Each structure stands twice: as C-alpha cells, then as structure tokens.
Amino acid sequence: MDLSLYHLVREPKVKLEKNPLLLLLHGYGSNEEDLFSFADELPDEYFIVSARAPYSLPPYGNAWYAITFDNDMNKFSDDKQAIESRDLIVKFIDELIEAYPIDKDNITLLGFSQGSILSYAVALTYPEKINRVAALSGYLNMDIVGKSLHAEDVTKVRFFASHGVVDQVIPVEWAQKAPEFLKNLGVDVEYHEYNSGHGVAPQNFHDLLHWLKK
C-alpha cells in the first residue's frame, strides 16, 4: 500500500508479535537518510521508520514547513503548513500500524530540529497516540499545538530533550522552556545540554540510547 510519506524502514532484529515503533523525523533541509544513518545502533526490538518531509527544498532536501526571513533576517514559520504536517504525521502513524505488525500502544517519536518541533506538537495534540518523544535540538512551538491541550493525557507521555549550548540555529534558551512547561504539567522529562552546536554530539546519542532502553 502507498503510505502518505515516503520512508525508509529497518525491520526489528528481534521479532515480536507486535513490535514498538520508533519514527524518525528529520530537520529542515534534510531528508530521510539523515537520521536513518544511525538506525543500526538503535535498539533491536523497534520497527525504525524514517520519514521524508512533504515539502521539497532544492537541490535535495525537504521540509515539514516553510521558514521565511524578512528584510531584518527575522525568521517566520509557516504555522499553517506546520499544523498540516503535524496531522499528516499522525495519519502516517495510523497507516504504519495498518501496514506493519506495530504495537499501537508503543509509539516513540525521535525528531531533530524541525522534526523535534513537530514531535512536541504531535505529542501534545494527540497524546493518546504517542508514548515517548525524543526531541533533539528543537523547541516547543505552542502555535502549532492543538487548542485543546489535554494535560491529564499528556502526563503519560515521557520526554527526552537535548540541546547544544552553542546552537546558532535554535537558541538554547528556547529549548529550555519545553522541559519547564512539561514539568509544570506533571510530565516525566529528561533534559540534557551539551557543549555543542546544532547537531547530535556523541554523548547526546549515548544518553538518548540509555533513555530509549529504560
């Protein structure tokens, strides 16, 4: 069957009747190959699916939503496109559950940068669908979270958030607001900072793996 998003799959090395899903969501201007490059190092029991964002950016990248700059180099996100991508990811998860022997009660999102922003939005808008979120080098954009935030449902979602203190793309101050906001809702959040820029440092990957295996 044709699914809504082009994607790569690493089948679980340990086959269960239903396996958990780890859905990888890349950053702005990247593609499905990016995060998939470390799929083999991720835990064996997962279906690992790396999705390609719907908007193509020449020459070979993709985006979940447009980012534009004004004359003063202020950045603006296309929130309408972001909300459409948020809902498309949820539709895609439903399609994956249909297409593969995936445990619908064990869904983890792993997003980097723009993919991380979307992961927060999906989990806070559709907490019944998601168990865990790993948000790398992103931030929480409440403008793309659905209006009815069901705080009691969100408390069952576990979060891992990480950021580089010298990130020049997304300031670390933006990233720090997400764990604060989530902790106030009573959500389980593990937050790490690294002496790195906009990327996944080796120690960050190590901490992420440790959290995934918990």
User: Residues 33-76: pLDDT tens digits?
Assistant: 999 999 999 999 999 999 999 999 988 899 999 988 777 767 78
d(CA 146, CA 140): 12
Select the CATH number that applies to the domain covering 7-213 from these four: 3.30.1300.10, 3.40.640.10, 3.50.50.60, 3.40.50.1820.
3.40.50.1820
Compute CA distances 58 → 48, 147, 179, whole Å: 26, 33, 34
- Confidence class of residue 87 from pLDDT cuts 50, 70 and 90? very high
Q: Domain locations in the chain?
A: 7-213
**Averaged pLDDT, 181-187:** 95
Output the CA angle 88-94-97, nearest 5 degrees. 140
pLDDT tops 80 at residue 102: yes
Q: Quote the percentage of the chain above a pLDDT of 70.
A: 99
Beta strands in the chain (DSSP E): 7-10, 19-25, 47-51, 55-57, 61-63, 67-69, 75-77, 102-112, 132-136, 158-164, 188-194
pTM of the entire predicted model:
0.95
Q: What is residue 122's predicted lDDT score, i.e. its pLDDT?
A: 97
**Angle at which helices 79-99 and 114-125 pack, to 10 degrees?**
70
Is 142 or 60 the better-scoring residue by pLDDT? Answer: 142
